[in-house]
Structure 1
Amino acid sequence: MRAAHAWPEELKKASAAWVMAQAPVIIYMLKLTVAVLLALGLSLRFDLSKPSTAMLTVIIVMQPRSALVLAKSFYRFLGTVAGVMLSLLLVACFSQEPTLFLLAGACWLALCTAGSTVFRNFQSYGFVLAGYTLVIVGLPAALQPDQAFDIAVTRLSEVMLGLLCAGVVSDVVFPQRLSDSLLAAVRRRYADFAQYIRRDAAHAASGERTMLRFIGEVISLEALRSSSVFENPGHRLQSTQLRRLNTAFMTASTTFHSLDQLLMRLQNAGKQAALAALLRQYRAITDALQVDAAAAAQQLRALRLRLPAQLANTRSAVLAAAGDKVDSQALLDFDSASELLLRFADELLAYTLTHAALLGDGDTSLADDTTLPAHYVPRTDPLMVLFAGLRTATAFGLSMLFWILSGWPSGVEAVVLATVVSSLFAAAPFPSRTVRHFIIGAAGGGLAAFIFAYGLQPHAENFVMLCLALAPFLLLAAWLAMQPKYAGIGTGMLFFTLNYGALDSAYSFDALSFFNGLIAGLIGVGIASVMYVAIDPADSRWVKRRLAGALRRQVVLACRQPLAGLMPAFESATRDLLQRFAVSHELDNEDDREVLAWLLSVLEIGRAVIHLRQDVQPAAAAAVERCVRSIASLFTKPHPARRQAAIDAALQAIAECQAMPALSANLHLIRSSLLDETSVLAALAVNSQTKDQYRAA
């Protein structure tokens, strides 16, 4: 009997838990549907020629958080205005010269798509919009030059209406504030990092995946930070603090990795006494981290004052225990680890102070003196930029050629969809896969549009019934779009349902025109898909070699660039390179793991070089300069002889800097990384023959 009475209660609890877990998705589905239907209603009220433009604008800019909607709307507006102005210019210049119009349009599309891969976040989307607005406004205007201005104003009005509907609904209906999400993410990262560094150092298990996750969080927080100012002008101070916090976290996490690698080398060398002594000091630092960042900062500040003396006493005890059997290499490892412990304590203190100041738990003036704000510096392979522009220009040219040669009136739909899809997903992590999913969604959206336009819309006697008929298709597509696995399918379904659903002020359904337009649209998406397959080297070994070269150049920049602002620029650019690689590769692949291992080695060597240049003293300036030059030479043009020269230069500099612990610690880190064959081969080798050459050397 108890079991019979218990199951309804258990079902109720399970249902409540499911609703709570799915609440963000459900809210987003409802807001998207309401905003789309509002845009439809207003478009019909104002008698706009293409309500689908306003509705598709809502689909594109709608985001779970209000600030993200405003940010994306802002850049969509700028991109649309730029695209409209360029369209009018091209129509004025080349309306009677189709070939010149085609060439100029292809160049504009290539330029805008290339810009979308260089910039990040919604700035990237602004470039996409500036590009494909050409085919939405420019092509119809070129076909009717006498109505070009009216077409441009109408399309711009439809876009603005869609932006207004998305912004109002997002900010009024169950508003989700970005600042709340940012602070929650900051707290979560602080707790995760504290837990991560408390684990036993010199551990056996690899922490590569965790480090990769931290790198991704730096980039995602930077993306959210750049949009938070749209929510409230007062968030500009918070934005500066977040930028400072990201910089502090990057430096602390990189130092932790260097320290962790050094402690692992002590463990592998069997130096248990030195390792145990260092771990006691390390655990004292990590145990100081608490949920309350302000209290943790106070403990870290007190610990940092005692740490130099404690490390000196520990070193004396290790030397006394070793007696006459002192291992100079192990002693150098110990001294280097001691310097890293001091640096890690300083950077962890800066991170906790900035974290406390951001949350309003500490003295902000203390945080202001620890870490200066620095802009996040992205890096993009120029050839990848070139390929993105070439892909969109080629898709535009092929679809235009198909339209002209076929003389098919509906061919313009193929041009529009080929151009939009080839530019819209240019910056996606897996563009080929995303477009394949989009095609599936497009086919489903075409079927939904037919069912709605032919079977349901004729029976809708008023606007309310029209909304009730359309809402199920919107809800289904919105749910798919919110699932990472089916996001491309949901997006394609939304696009084609609204584009071909006969949603005009005066209802008319012509089956022949419908299927002509639908087939042309699918052909356009197919052309874009072929272009992504043909010009998408994202997963090739060639791209990995390009990445290795880009990472090598980061070390060269660390050796040669002016020191002002170099450290945060180096950190952010290197992490951005890895993040763009990691989102399109699997760490289960051995080659991909080599690249990740090399990224961490690049961070270690590059930061050590920058610290060398910052801490250099006149007595050691010549030796340090020779070492830095040899490292720059090695990473500019890899060769076994250059590698050995860099190792020898580091050894010579270590011998001259024995009385300078900070310099010798960084030199030792560089030498140890250069001696690590696995990471050096991943970075310097370009093929198996070169690997054999390095191993033989």
Structure 2
Amino acid sequence: MLLTKQLLAFRPNKMDWIFAIKTFLAGILALYVAFSLNLAYPIWAIGTVFVIANPYSGMTSSKSIYRVLGTLLGAIVSIVVTPLLINTPWLFTLFLASWVAVCLYISLLDRTPRSYVSMLAGYTAVIICYNIIYFIDTVSIFDMAIGRFMEITIGVLCSAIVTTTLFPMHIGPAVKTRVSKTFKDTKSLFHQILLDSSQLKNYNNMLAQITRDIAEIHVMAVHLSYEKSALQGMTKPLQEMLHQMTMLIANLVAMAERVKQLDLLDTAYREQLQAIHVHIADFLQDEHVIDETQLNGLPEGFDEDFARLQAMSPASQQVILGSLKMDVRHFIQNIRAIRLIWQRIQQGDASLPESVTPLTTTYPNLHRDHGVAVRGGISAFLVILLATSFWIVSGWKAGFMMAEMAAISACILTAMDNPVPALKMFIRANLYAAVIVFIYAYGIFPHVTAFWQLVVVLAPFIIYCLMLFPHPPLTGIGLPLLMGTVMGLNLQNRYSLDQVFFFDASIGTVLGPLISVYIIHLVRAMSPDITAQRILSLHYKAIRQALYLPYGVQFRIHLRSMLDRIGVLNTKVVQSEHLKKNIQLALIESSAVIDLTRLQELMNKLPAQHPILITLEDLQQLLDDYFRAKEISQASDVLKNAILEKIQALQTEAATIEQQDTVQRLNISLNNIQSSLCHVNLTATAQSAGKGA
């Protein structure tokens, strides 16, 4: 009912028309070329155009390459394996089910568009192998595989030609706009933290939006190498800049938490903080080209401003103000480094400043959910095994279509938390497509005698479906409806439609996804709440790992992965209020893991016999135990109280350390751990920190 209302309310804009007409022309061109070459299945040429269609030319080009590579790999596997196993159907089925499972597992671990290669390699092998079996008497294995590769390649080439020559829409300007918006949002939140404490209750929402934007830009950047825009070839430096931007998130969260603590004690400091903010804002507002040698520069009088602030503040606020000063300094230096990288990117310079340590690795250390990937692979294995077994046992000639659709539907939506609702939409679209195919085949096509007539009768339906593509709520019906119709029509040079096969194939296209829905519901589907809880467990495990990491590149990469995980968490639409609270707290906890490395750093600096070392080691072990318990949802107040008692003991023992700078850093870290990792009442935290000073 909701979908019907959305379709009735849909009003295509100018860009929708341009995109739809361009894609339709590319599809018709691919179909014409396939007809001219007398290929066996021209539908794969036109279908490929629609599958890879995207308003942005860079996305279309990259997906084209990934589709060709995936198809090539799947075709090679089918050519190698089919002669060996075609006479042992059960072994053949086990191999194909295992192949798809492994490919899907790899695909789900890769959170970039490149995942399309491995996923397509999986179910393409199934499609080719099952078509070979069905047409074994008329087509050779090699011809079938090569034909499929040629058909898809023609679709890719035609799509690339049309999208890059007719009103090309590059993704570069869109990336630039998103980056500028993220800069603006980050600065706005910084100003809000220092100026308007009344808004700090909702700052998590703004931070969540920034983390989501960073994650989306990271994916968009992959496509820049496949188009001719101002940012062409800037994928790596742009992604590195985004890695550095996540460090700003930790700075902003830490500043907000310290300001909250200060406000609960006394707000008199606010007047002087506003004066400090004016100096910082003027310094950051300067839009001149940043000199790399001055990246660590600070506003004039920065230290003096904070010295005046601390001089006028009570003892209970001193440690917190020291922490705030450190966070503000890091924010200024980080944002200047990011601006310098962005300036170079816009000038076509892919180099990074020498003072910036790159966080990009060969295999980026971002969040990957192996549990979901394993369950996705298992569900695909069971789906193919069940569907193909039914085909073998029943002897149903058109059962290959059911098995193919089962394999495809088991793969295409598995990245979702719960693919079942989308698969049900997929099934509904296939039912609609069967009706439309029947109308075309028996009501319209008997009167079509020329290619131009075919173009005319297909245009209204195809263009309408394509106009739904740029709108995510409608893509779920537009794409399967269009693909189901195109594939069901099975257009060929010598067109004929076998009525028995038509009805058999229509039944197969519905039964295959139904099998997928059933298996995925049992094995793979998870609610957003369950997924969020699993990710939170990984988050707590990462905090434990940070306890033993020295500060450096390894730690920064680790923190980057933690903040990326928070970005993934913020995309989950959870229902539990408890989980929502824990997700918000997870961001605060991530901002304080640097204080765990500072404890480790302090322990390495102190003499081996210093009495405070034993207490620090005890605190480390208690924190490890506490977050291990949270990891398995068994955290207790007993462990938390033990941590707080140990922190109070350390604040007392800090007086035995001679170096005042070390004492201050220790008290800052203890305050941040108590407040941001243990989430103790902020007033009590601040008072305790003041006594420790």
Q: TM-score, normalised by structure 2?
A: 0.86
CA contact (8 A) 2:544 2:624 kept: yes
Are the equivalent residues in 2 in contact too, given 1:293–1:353 (CA < 8 A)?
no
Tell me, which stretches of 5 or more residues in structure 2 are unaligned?
A: 1-9, 683-693
Aligned residue for 1:314? 309
Report 1:418-567 matches (<5 A).
418-428=406-416, 430-539=418-527, 541-561=529-549, 563-567=551-555
Please tell me whether the aligned partners of residues 245 and 338 of structure 2 are also in contact (alpha carbons under 8 angstroms): yes
CA drift of 1:499 comes to 0.5
Aligned match of 1:304: 299
Query: Secondary structure of the equivalent of 1:49?
Result: coil
Among residues 125, 128, 145, which one is paired with 1:152 in the alignment? 145
| Residue 635 of structure 1: aligned partner | 627
Match of 2:355 in 1: 369
- Distance of 2:436 and 2:334 partners within structure 1: 56
Question: Which residue of 2 is the match for residue 281 of structure 1?
Answer: 276
Structure 2 residue 266 is matched with structure 1 residue 271: yes
Residue 97 of structure 2 is aligned to residue 109 of structure 1: no
1:210 counterpart residue number: 206
Q: Aligned residue for 2:674?
A: 671
TM-aligned CA distance change 1:394 to 1:633, over 3 Å: same
Cα gap change, 1:581 to 1:672, in 2 (>3 Å): closer
Cα offsets for 1:388-418 (capped at 9, x unmatched):
0111111111211222233221111111111
Would you say the 8 A contact 1:296–1:352 is kept in 2? no
Counterpart pick for 2:368 among 359, 380, 388: 380
Q: Deviations over 1:7-30 (max 9, x none)?
A: xxxxxxxxxxx99x9333222212
Aligned counterpart for 1:355 among listed residues 342, 348, 351: 342
Do the aligned residues in 1 keep the contact of 2:257 with 2:676 (CA within 8 Å)? no
SS at match of 2:226: coil
- Structure 1 residues 71 and 565: alpha-carbon distance in aligned structure 2, compared to 1, 3 A threshold: farther
Local SS of the residue matching 1:600: helix
Q: CA deviation at 1:90?
A: 2.3
Alpha-carbon distance between aligned partners in 1 of 2:607 and 2:621, rounded to the nearest angstrom: 14
Inter-CA distance 167–612: structure 2 relative to 1 (3 Å threshold): farther
Deviations 1:654-696 (A, max 9, x none): 55375334443233211212331699xxxxxxxxxxxxxxxxx
Note the alpha carbon deviations across 1:134-182, whole angstroms, 9 max, x for none.
2211122345298111111111111111111121112111111222222
Tell me what 1:694 maps to: none
Shift of 1:93: 2.1
Q: Does the CA-based 8 Å contact 2:426-2:477 persist in structure 1?
A: yes
CA separation of 1:650 and 1:69: change in aligned 2, threshold 3 A: farther
Pairwise CA distance, 1:43: 0.8
Within-5 A mapping of 1:567-606? 567-586=555-574, 589-606=576-593
Offset from partner CA, 1:275-306 (integer Å, 9 cap, x none): 44334424542454449474899999764352
Indicate how the Cα distance of structure 1 residues 187 and 278 shifts in structure 2: closer, same or farther if over 3 A, else same: same
Query: Quick one: distance in 1 between partners of 2:233 and 2:496?
Result: 54
Cα shift readout 1:533-587 (whole Å, capped 9, x = no counterpart):
223343165434322210011112222346553344224322333343443424x
Whether the 8 Å CA contact 1:79–1:129 is kept in 2: the answer is yes
CA deviation after TM superposition for structure 1 residue 224, in Å: 1.6
Q: How does 1:74-89 map to 2 (within 5 A)?
A: 74-89=65-80
Letter in 2 for 1:81: L
The verdict on how the C-alpha distance between 1:211 and 1:405 changes in structure 2, with shifts beyond 3 A counting, is: same
CA 1:24 to 1:663, structure 2 compared with 1: closer, same or farther past 3 Å? farther
CA RMSD of aligned residues (A): 3.1
What is the identity, as a one-letter code, of the residue corresponding to 2:167? F
Shift of 1:486: 1.7
Report the Cα distance in structure 1 between the residues aligned to 2:269 and 2:624, rounded to whole angstroms. 33
| Stretch deviating more after TM superposition (520-529 or 292-301) | 292-301
The aligned residue for residue 55 of structure 2 is: 64
Q: Distance in 1 between the 2:669 and 2:162 partners?
A: 55
Question: In structure 2, which of residues 627, 644, 649 is the aligned counterpart of residue 647 of structure 1?
Answer: 644
Question: Would the aligned equivalents of 1:559 and 1:629 in 2 still touch at CA under 8 Å?
Answer: no
Superposed displacement of residue 111, structure 1: 0.7
CA contact (8 A) 2:550 2:597 kept: no
Percent identity over paired residues: 21
The verdict on how the C-alpha distance between 1:610 and 1:45 changes in structure 2, with shifts beyond 3 A counting, is: farther
Q: CA deviation at 1:117?
A: 0.9
Equivalent position of 1:6 in the other structure: none
664-673 or 651-660: which moved more?
A: 651-660
1:211–1:298 Cα change, 3 Å = farther
Equivalence map 1:390-401=2 (5 Å):
390-401=378-389
Secondary structure, aligned partner of 1:380: coil
Match of 1:130 in 2: 121
Match of 1:521, as an amino acid?
Answer: T
**What residue ranges of structure 1 are gaps of 5+ in the alignment?**
1-17, 680-697
- In the alignment, what sits opposite 1:608? 595
Query: What is the alpha-carbon distance in structure 2 between the residues aligned to residue 633 and residue 508 of structure 1?
Result: 70
Of 258, 263, 282, 1:262 maps to: 258
Asked if 1:402 is matched to 2:384, the reply is no
SS of equivalent residue, structure 1 residue 121: coil
Report if the CA contact (8 A) 2:549-2:597 is conserved: no
Paired residues of 2:297 and 2:333 also in contact (CA < 8 A): no
2:661 corresponding residue in structure 1:
659
